[in-house]
Structure 1
Amino acid sequence: MIRVMVVDDHTVLRDGISHVINLDSNMKVVESASTIEEAIKKTEASLPDVILADIHLQDESGLDLTVFLKKKFPHIKILILTVEDNEHYLKQALDAGAEGYLLKDTSSDELIYGIQNIYKGNCVIPPSMTKEFLHSRYHPGRSSQEILTPREKEVLRELAKGFTNKEIGRMLYISDKTVKIHISNIYKKLKVSSRSQAIVYAVQKNWIIA
């Protein structure tokens, strides 16, 4: 059972999101909050597995909440759920430590899929935003200092698209175990500890083409 907390300052949206999540037999909304202070208190009390947080919380920032919670509770997965279809906010969310970023107009199935994926340790980004995010930071002339092997770059590129280890294995015709080995090597080479950090690092270094 995946235990979820929903943080949003709009009651109707918060209740609607909670209803969708509770329809899945493998998930349960254990808490909800509308402010950073309330979210922190309820996180400390209930220790959910996944937190869905909006970027804009009255006069507060869900990104500030993300930074605080990831420092204090690094094992809790955070999914930003927002109306901000903006590459700037996406980068800020990943830099803050969020494992995922979805838009509020996403379908119910995509929301459930996103929660499942970040719970498993994957990074979730809307495909449309992934392409924009990567293209906006790509410069064709820079490739000589790459430290990843061609296969590792293939794996990293598919990670950036939000695919799971199993899906990557099928696409690249390699086993799940081999994918895990490649991901482990990527983490070591880039000196990162999560998929979102690896993706941000690679994008900043212009190693990924959408």
Structure 2
Amino acid sequence: MGGVLGKGDSPKASVPETKLETKITEAMQRRETAGSSLKSFDSIILKFPRIDESLRKCKATFEEFDEDRNGAIDPQELKNCFHKLEINFTDEETDDLFEACDINEEKGMKFNEFIVLLCLVYLLKDDPTALHAISRMGMPNLEATFETLVDAFVFLDKNKDGYVSKNEMVDAINETAAGERSSGRIAMKRFEEMDWDRNGMVNFKEFLFAFTRWVGIEDIEDEGEDKV
């Protein structure tokens, strides 16, 4: 396997796509027909602070559903969470989502994994009641934040196939940084941070995990972990 796995990466990322991940790709392709409102990669970067602030506000919700206070949400706690948020997924769909987002296979989702999961729910569910329920949980800006993340992926995925390729990432950054010689290097670094399984293609889930790292969401969960 090429490349060295970094913190938070998992060899599991290299297995073939699950039924759920195929569904995510198809949902993204449907969304991509509407196009993106973003005009440059810089406009995505400018939104980092606001996205970061919005996602951090989910911490209280995460803690509410972490019923045993062990810093992670287990499969049963996730089912309770979905029930309370009125997100109508079957047990099989919930288990698939949990497995897709529990990247370290610890049977417990950390905060950044929970954020990714909620964003995937947003993409998969054309269910206004679920979205209103999420808003009612004290996360009114979350829907707009998730839409920004979807929009960012749509902007990067020029050929609208549900994946971002290395060339698409280079093109997106070059559009912004025309004439800067470092832009290709920046694009490669960003792409490598996203492409865990080194297959040259990034799906929405991989993009979201990279994004939580870029805006520093992973750091929140590390704050108290060494004391355990």
Q: Same fold (TM over 0.5)?
A: no
TM-score for both structures, normalised by structure 2: 0.26
TM-score for both structures, normalised by structure 1: 0.27
**Higher percent of residues as helix:** 2
